[in-house]
Amino acid sequence: MTTARTAARTARPGERARTARPGGQARSGRYDVVVVGGGAAGLSAGLTLARARRSVLVIDSGEPRNAPAEGVHNYLGLDGVPPAELVAVGRAEVSGYGGEVVAGRVVSVERPEGGDFRVVLEDGSAVAARRLLVTTGLVDELPDVPGLAELWGRDVLHCPYCHGWEVRDQPIGVLATGPLAVHQALLWRQWSERVTLFLHDTVEPDDEQYERLAARGIAVVDGRVAGLETTSAGDAAGRLSGVRLAGGRVVPCRALVVATRGTARAGLLAGLGVETTERVMDGWVVGDHVVADPAGATSVPGVWVAGNAADLTAQVVVAAAGGLRAAGAINADLLAEDERLALAARRAPVAAGPSHGPSHGFSPEVEAEVCERVAGERRHGI
Ligand SMILES: Cc1cc2nc3c(=O)[nH]c(=O)nc-3n(C[C@H](O)[C@H](O)[C@H](O)COP(=O)(O)OP(=O)(O)OC[C@H]3O[C@@H](n4cnc5c(N)ncnc54)[C@H](O)[C@@H]3O)c2cc1C
């Protein structure tokens, strides 16, 4: 397995290498881009922007969504890498190109009319930004079952592509919290022949669904789930061993699948007027996310979003790709502004005085310079 240190070292153009300052304080200052959130999306954007020679600051409060998981799966080239290691490598890569990564929590963002964004951190410091990228991820709201939250990300699972292989062929329970539960049970059947759907007084499959479940050998258990049982001794101490029903019956399970409601961490953006919307699947609200175009631009000029804050279903590699894409769009937007400003400066009325520099307003010198740049030796004395 590649370590953070070796990956960072091999990836760096040595002369620009700088030390990551994940524990440092954000300095006051002005940046081309401030990225709020340093998970896969934010760090990927930070890397792209730093390599595009933009001044970029990534501010991260250190609570990535997949923190409880042992490894990141389906990330090509790094399958199984611990989440914290991927973040450490990403931070080193960003700072290796001159980007800054700091630990901190952004508590507010405001933008005076026509000015820079003012990004305020929990410690009271503030930085200015020409553009803002929000990659704060989402919060998983878990079903309220005693003992469930403690096992989240280890034995209580939501995504078969993230965890299915690790629990293949094991007894897997699916806790119904909405109409998608039947679909979930049929999906997880790909990873194990021993799947049990717990109806949890939440759903009642119709005849056709019962037939599909039966055809795939999925057991259906009626009644409310009251709690989870764990192993008390040995190497597996504290791991899930069963699902306890209200009547006291315990059904052995090695993993329990739940559907979470994903809420984008978008509170910061409300004051700027950025919209969020509900994500509905099969008529069921599975969460909400920030409204943005495919490159992450929100309806508010200068504000972009990427990763789970924009797309609840984005896995790590997709979140990283979203950060990259948003970074490219932000760079293009800044380029357009840089050009606008340069043209405005060039065309600005000439200041009083006899000396007209070649870059000030209309003058023979300016015209000569333009001809030189555009036509070069072909200008024939223009
Ligand atoms: C248990 C579990 C296991 C998973 N396993 C996998 C897997 O194996 N493979 C896979 O591809 N996907 C997996 N995922 C999905 C994965 O977590 C997401 O795809 C990924 O985290 C999205 O990246 P992100 O950058 O959008 O958000 P995050 O990784 O959540 O990063 C957001 C960052 O923003 C920071 N932040 C939030 N608010 C602020 C603020 N106000 N100021 C500063 N910083 C802030 C947070 O602290 C966090 O570090 C898993 C998810 C869970 C829940």
The DSSP line for 119-150 is EEETTS-EEEEEEEEE---EEEEPP--TTTGG
Q: What is the pLDDT of residue 366?
A: 65
pTM score, whole prediction: 0.88
Which of 65, 119, 150, 257 is the best mutation target for the ligand 1 pocket, counting ligand atoms within 8 Å of the beta carbon and taking the most? 65
Q: Closest Cα partner for 336 from 58, 130, 83?
A: 130
- Nearest in space to 299 (alpha carbons), one of 256, 323, 334, 269: 269
What's the rounded Cα separation, in Å, for the pair 45 and 59?
12
Question: Do residues 236 and 208 lie in contact, with contact meaning Cβ atoms separated by under 8 Å?
Answer: no
Distance 31 CA to ligand 1 centre (A): 24
> DSSP class of residue 377?
G
Please state the φ and ψ torsions of residue 37, each to the nearest 5 degrees: 110, 120
Determine the CATH number of domain 143-257: 3.50.50.60
Helices (H) and strands (E) in the chain, counts: 9, 19
Ranges of each domain in the chain: 4-140+262-338, 143-257
Q: Which two tokens stand for residue 74?
A: 């389906």
* Ligand 1 in reach of 48 Cβ (< 6 A): no
CA of 307 to the centre of ligand 1 (A): 8
pLDDT score at 19: 36
Q: Is the CB of 60 under 6 A from ligand 1?
A: yes
Q: Rounded to an integer, what distance in angstroms lies between the CA atom of residue 279 and that of residue 31? A: 33
Round to whole Å and give the CA distance between 311 and 294.
Answer: 10
Q: What does the angle CA 45 – CA 308 – CA 63 come to, to the nearest 5 degrees?
A: 85
Superfamily for the 4-140+262-338 domain: FAD/NAD(P)-binding domain (3.50.50.60)
Report whether residue 262 contacts ligand 1, using a CB cutoff of 6 Å: no
Q: Position 67: which residue type?
A: A
86 in contact with ligand 1, CB cutoff 6 A: no
Ligand 1 atom at minimal distance to the Cα of residue 72? 8
- Report the pLDDT value the prediction gives residue 147, as an integer from 0 to 100: 95
Q: Is 55 in the pocket of ligand 1 (CB under 6 A)?
A: no
Contact indicator for 217, 210 with CB cutoff of 8 Å: no
The two three-digit tokens of residue 219, written as one number: 């057991």
Nearest residue (CA) to ligand 1, atom 3: 66
pLDDT given for residue 379 in this prediction: 63
Q: Is 364 left (phi over 0), alpha (psi -120 to 50) or beta?
A: alpha
Place of tokens 């008390």: 232
In sign, the C-alpha dihedral spanning 221, 226, 231, 237 is positive
Residue position matching structure tokens 């959130």: 37
Sheet containing strand 240-245, strands side by side: 225-230, 240-245, 250-252
For the beta carbon of residue 321, count every other beta carbon within 10 angstroms. 17
Return the pLDDT at 233.
84
Q: Best substitution site from 122, 162, 325 to test ligand 1's pocket, by max atoms within 8 Å of Cβ? A: 162
Residue 143 C-beta-side C-alpha neighbours within 13 Å: 25
Testing ligand 1's pocket by substitution, the residue of 263, 315, 324 carrying the most ligand atoms inside 8 A of its CB is 315
Indicate whether residue 157 lines ligand 1 (CB < 6 A). no
**β-bridge mates for residue 174, sequence order:** 197, 257
d(CA 215, CA 367): 81
Which atom of ligand 1 is nearest to 137's Cα? 27
| Residue 348: per-residue pLDDT | 87
Q: Judge if 4-140+262-338 and 143-257 fold alike in CATH terms.
A: yes
Q: Is the dihedral of CA 343, 345, 348, 352 positive or negative?
A: negative
39 lines ligand 1 (CB under 6 A): yes
Q: pLDDT value at position 273? A: 94
Q: Is the CB of 308 under 6 A from ligand 1?
A: yes
* Residues paired with residue 278 on neighbouring β-strands, in sequence order: 288
Residue 229 is encoded by which pair of tokens?
A: 């049982």
Residue 131, beta-bridge partner list: 33
pLDDT per residue, tens digit, the chain (382 aa), is 344 433 443 334 333 333 344 444 445 699 999 999 999 999 999 999 999 999 999 999 999 999 999 999 999 999 999 999 999 999 999 999 999 999 999 999 999 888 999 999 999 999 999 999 999 999 999 999 999 999 999 999 999 999 999 999 999 999 999 989 999 999 999 999 999 999 999 999 999 999 999 999 999 999 999 999 999 988 888 999 999 999 999 999 999 999 999 999 999 998 999 999 999 988 889 999 999 999 999 999 999 999 999 999 999 999 999 999 999 999 999 999 999 999 999 998 765 555 544 445 566 776 776 667 667 666 665 5
**pLDDT for residue 340:** 96
> Pairing mode, if any, of strands 56-60 and 100-103?
parallel
For residue 237, count CB atoms less than 10 angstroms from its CB and return exposed for 0-12, middle for 13-18, buried for 19 or more: exposed
The number of residues in the chain equals 382
Instruction: Report whether residue 64 contacts ligand 1, using a CB cutoff of 6 Å.
Output: yes
Answer yes or no: are the C-beta atoms of 23 and 61 closer than 8 Å: no
Does ligand 1 lie within 6 Å of residue 316's CB atom? yes
Judge if the beta carbon of residue 256 lies within 6 A of ligand 1.
no
- How close are the terminal C-alpha atoms of the chain, in Å? 64
26 burial (CB, 10 Å; 0-12 / 13-18 / 19+) is buried
